[in-house]
Amino acid sequence: MPRLNRLQAILTRLQSKQVVTARELADHFGVSIRSIYRDLRTLEEAGIPIGAEAGIGYFLPDNFHLPPVMFTTDEALSLLMGGKLTERFTDQRESEAFGQALTKIRSVLRPADKETLAAIESRIEVFQFAPAQPRHLHLFELKKALAQNLLVEIDYQKEGAASSEKRTIEPLALCFYSGNWHLMAWCRLREAYRDFRTDRINTIKILGNTFDLSKHPPLIEIFGQNGREATLHHITLEVGNQYAANIHEMKYAWGFSGQEKGSKTTIMHFFNTNLQGFARWVVWGGTNISVISPESLRDEVQDIVRQLADHHCK
C-alpha cells in the first residue's frame, strides 16, 4: 500500500475506534511499528491532534471532527449490497435504520459514484422465502442491551408450547444461523445458557440493571454447552467432492460452518437444531453423504430409510 493511502487509512481507523495501538496498526498494514510511529508523526505535523497514553494506545480527542469521509466506488457498492441483505434478513426497524444511514452515506459520494449506485441498485436483489407477515425480531432493542450489558425481560413462546413464559435474561450475543436470528443468553429462571430464536419473542423489556459480562465464557464455549431451548447440534458429514460442489449454496440453509476438502471427499460441519429435518436432507443426498456424527442423526436417517422401505415395498 502506498504511504499516502496508509496515512489516510490510519486516520480512518483512529476515527472509527476509541483507542488504537501501534501494534494493531502495524499488524493490520503489514509494516513495522517504527513505520507506524513515523506515520503518526506525519499526521501530527499535518495538524491532526493525535492523543497518546502510555500502555494504552493512540486516539483522537472527542472535540476533534474531520470532514465527512469519502468512499471509493467499491466501498459504496459493498454498502449497497449490505443494505439489500439487511432488508431481507432483519426486521423493519433495523432495515429502516440501515436505510437512513445509507442515505447519509450517499450524500457524501462523488457524483459519478451516485450515478453508479443508481444504475446498479435495481440489478442487485436478495431473494428469500419470507414469512407472510412482517417479522418482529427485536434486533434494535437487543443490540442496545448487548452494547450496555443490560438485563432484559422477554415473553418467550417455545416451539410447540401452548403458552408463553416470561424470562429475565443476560443477553450475550446475536447469531444468525439456519435461516433465523438467535439470542444467546444466560437465563436466570433456568440458571443456564439458552438459545432463544428472536422471532419467538412476543414482547421485550429492557431493564435498568446491568450484569457482569466478564463472568461469562466466550461465545464459542457457550455454543458447546447443553440445555438450550432448542439444542444446537454440531453435525459432521463426509460428502463426495462433486456432490459437495453441487450443494454450494444449499448448505448455508442447513447451518454450514466450515469444511476440510480431501482428494475424494469433503468433511463438512453444520450447526442445526432440527435433527429430523436435517436427516431428511441427508437421505435426499443418497449415497453421496455419510454421517460421521452425531450418532443420533445416523439413527434418524436409518428410521427414515426404514419407513421408506416399508412404504414402497408393501
Q: How far is it, in rounded angstroms, from Cα 43 to Cα 7?
A: 7
Q: Which CATH number belongs to the domain containing residue 54 in this structure?
A: 1.10.10.10
Q: Do 143 and 219 share a domain, yes or no?
A: yes
Cβ distance 221 to 188 under 8 Å? no
Residue 7 lies in a domain: yes
Q: Do 238 and 292 share a domain, yes or no?
A: yes
Q: How far is it, in rounded angstroms, from Cα 257 to Cα 85?
A: 19
Cβ distance 169 to 141 under 8 Å? no
Q: What is the pLDDT of residue 227?
A: 43
Q: How far is it, in rounded angstroms, from Cα 89 to Cα 121?
A: 18
Q: What is the pLDDT of residue 223?
A: 72
Q: Do 54 and 7 share a domain, yes or no?
A: yes
Q: Do 16 and 82 share a domain, yes or no?
A: no
User: What backbone torsions phi and psi does residue 170 show, to the nearest 5 degrees?
Assistant: -105, 100
Q: Which CATH number belongs to the domain containing residue 308 in this structure?
A: 3.30.70
Cell of 214: 466478564
Q: How far is it, in rounded angstroms, from Cα 163 to Cα 188?
A: 19
Q: Do 83 and 51 share a domain, yes or no?
A: no
Alpha helices in the chain (DSSP H): 3-16, 22-29, 33-45, 73-89, 92-107, 111-120, 139-148, 219-223, 241-246, 275-284, 295-312
Q: What is the pLDDT of residue 115?
A: 87
Residue 130 lies in a domain: no
Q: Which CATH number belongs to the domain containing residue 182 in this structure?
A: 2.30.30.520
Tell me which of 12, 30, 59 is where a domain ends: 59
The sign of the torsion formed by the CA atoms of 238, 241, 269, 142 equals negative
Digits of tens for pLDDT over the chain (314 positions)? 788 888 888 888 888 788 999 999 999 899 999 999 999 999 888 888 899 888 889 998 887 766 656 677 888 889 889 988 888 888 888 888 888 888 888 877 778 888 888 888 888 888 765 554 456 899 999 999 999 999 999 999 987 788 899 999 999 999 887 778 999 999 999 898 998 999 999 999 999 899 999 999 888 777 766 445 566 789 999 999 999 988 877 888 788 888 999 999 999 999 887 899 999 999 999 999 999 999 999 999 999 999 999 998 87
Expressed as residue numbers, the domain containing 242 is: 233-312
Q: How many domains does the chain have?
A: 4
Residue 13 lies in a domain: yes
Q: Do 113 and 143 share a domain, yes or no?
A: no
Q: Do 34 and 10 share a domain, yes or no?
A: yes
Residue 100 lies in a domain: yes
Q: How far, in Å, are 150, 227, 275, 300 from residue 247 at the CA level?
A: 41, 31, 19, 21
Residue 308 lies in a domain: yes
Q: Do 237 and 307 share a domain, yes or no?
A: yes
Q: Do 259 and 210 share a domain, yes or no?
A: no
Residue 29 lies in a domain: yes
Q: 184 pairs with which residues across the strands?
A: 173, 195
Tell me which of 36, 59, 82 is where a domain ends: 59
Residue 134 lies in a domain: no
Q: What is the pLDDT of residue 108?
A: 75
Q: What is the pLDDT of residue 69?
A: 62
Closest CA to 79 of 109, 51, 56: 109
Cβ distance 284 to 252 under 8 Å? no
Residue 67 lies in a domain: no
Tell me which of 223, 249, 271 is where a domain ends: 223
Q: How far is it, in rounded angstroms, from Cα 39 to Cα 51?
A: 14
